[in-house]
Amino acid sequence: MNKATVDDQLWATIHHERARLADLLETLSDEEWNQPSLCDGWRVRDVAAHVIASSDYSSVGMVVAAVRAGGDFNRLVDRMAREQGSSPTTQILARYGRQATSRRRPPVTKRLDPLVDVLVHSQDIAIPLGREHPMPLQPARVAASFIYTRGFPFNARRRHPGIRFVATDVEFQVGDGTPVRAPIAEIVLTLTGRGHRPAGRDRRPS
């Protein structure tokens, strides 16, 4: 399979997951839009705006925003998400309609970052609201492998020394040491620094 075909399949998955997230967002009440997400300090609306805005970042816009944030990446992302999340709900949803199939990604990001972004942030929204939004197994497996080797901003390998993560619902394992078995969605959330454990799903040493 050539690179162009692989990239086409990757973008098709990203676009599908953005559409699934948009469908979920369409069902939320005004109260739910303003509920806290799993992202510390971000409301559901901030996360939703961040996911779709990432497809519209330009190099110039990122440079300007970085200067405003004093060169601090975390501050930059936080400020942009809060600003975009303050838009009316109708505007956030309209951006999904316009940009859900965009192939643009922020400068300096890697090709799998948009996949991780939509998979993880969909859970950041769905889990605290008690909404069912299953993470697809094969894309989650690809994302987990990428996250483990990504370094900044996850640093998963360094933060989980002596642990071998083994998925219970798809062929996947990564790391060295004591095996910890869990569904792949939970492994993805753990590797990205989420401390949440979905209800009814074990995370146990084998």
57 part of a folded domain: yes
Is 201 in contact with 186 (CB distance < 8 Å)? yes
**Do 85 and 24 sit in the same domain of this protein?**
yes
Average pLDDT in the chain: 87
Percent of the chain with pLDDT strictly greater than 90: 73
**Do 162 and 103 sit in the same domain of this protein?**
no
Task: For residue 15, give both structure tokens.
Answer: 């676009």
Q: Which CATH number fits the domain that encloses residue 195?
A: 3.30.1050
121 part of a folded domain: no
Confidence (pTM): 0.86
- Per residue in 61-115, pLDDT (tens digit) is 544 454 454 556 678 888 888 999 999 999 999 999 999 999 998 877 899 999 9
Please say whether the dihedral angle defined by the alpha carbons of residues 45, 46, 50 and 53, taken in this order, is positive or negative.
positive
132 part of a folded domain: no
Is 22 in contact with 97 (CB distance < 8 Å)? yes
Q: For 126-172, where are the E strands, in sequence order?
A: 163-167
**Do 174 and 72 sit in the same domain of this protein?**
no
123 part of a folded domain: no
Range of the domain at 44: 3-114
**Do 8 and 109 sit in the same domain of this protein?**
yes
94 part of a folded domain: yes
**Do 27 and 110 sit in the same domain of this protein?**
yes
**Do 12 and 89 sit in the same domain of this protein?**
yes
33: helix, strand or coil: helix
81 part of a folded domain: yes
Alpha carbon dihedral 75, 76, 80, 81, in 10-degree steps, equals -50
